[in-house]
Amino acid sequence: MNPEIQNLELAKASRLTRIAFFWTRMLRTPFWSIYTILPFIILKELHASPFQIGVFIALKPVASLLSLYWSAWINKRRDRLRGNLIGAHVLGLIPFFFFPYVNNAWYIIIASGIYMALHRGVTPAWMEILKLNLSGKIRHRVFAWGSAWGYLGDAIFPFIIGWLLDDFSHSWRWLFSSYSDRCLIAHHFPIQNTH
């Protein structure tokens, strides 16, 4: 292949990877903000028991263990990176579509566990895509900026969401459902996963 064409393809893959990583982090931030206050929501709105709240909180470390099974799916298979990202995102958000119609705290706890396991399970795929498409210095900068913007949004958005929920108490159901729909559509960025 012509070196000029190859350099153009590498530059395009690098640019698309940076855009995809940054926008994935940014689009995830409002959802994560609502997700972090979900224990308070199910306690107040669905009258969850202390045991159910305890199970919800315990899901975080358990989901880390379960996420290993999802990330093992792409181990040493570069052709599965994009499918891993899209599949985990779609499967993690599908249960949230039904939140407007569900009044069961256990359903919400299980949906949250699935989301958390898949959310953590895609981290190795993202690391591999960043490693393949970005040089070391750019990779560290992209990861740092994307993470910083994500954490900043994670700190600010819960206050906005909390204010909204104070005025419109049942809006959380529609926030989850509508955000899931929008995020699934926006997640289909073209990601190049080979050099």
Q: Say what the pLDDT of residue 77 is.
A: 66
Q: Is 107 part of any domain? A: yes
List own/partner pairs for 66-70 with CB under 8 A and 24 or more apart: 66/113, 66/117, 66/121, 67/116, 67/117, 67/118, 67/119, 67/120, 67/121, 67/123, 68/121, 69/121, 70/117, 70/118, 70/121, 70/122
Is the model's pLDDT at 194 over the cut of 80?
no
- For 97, the domain range is 3-186
Q: Is 108 part of any domain? A: yes
**CATH code for the domain of 70:** 1.20.1250.20
Q: How many domains does the chain have?
A: 1
Q: Is 59 part of any domain? A: yes
pLDDT tens sequence across 33-61? 888 888 988 998 889 999 999 999 998 88
Q: Is 193 part of any domain? A: no
Other beta carbons within 10 Å of 37: 16
Q: Is 67 part of any domain? A: yes
Q: Is 192 part of any domain? A: no
pLDDT classification of 104: cutoffs 50, 70, 90:
very high
pLDDT classification of 25: cutoffs 50, 70, 90:
confident
pLDDT classification of 182: cutoffs 50, 70, 90:
low
Q: Note whether 114 and 35 are within 8 A (CB).
A: no
Q: Which of 9-23, 32-46, 102-116 has the lowest mean pLDDT?
A: 9-23
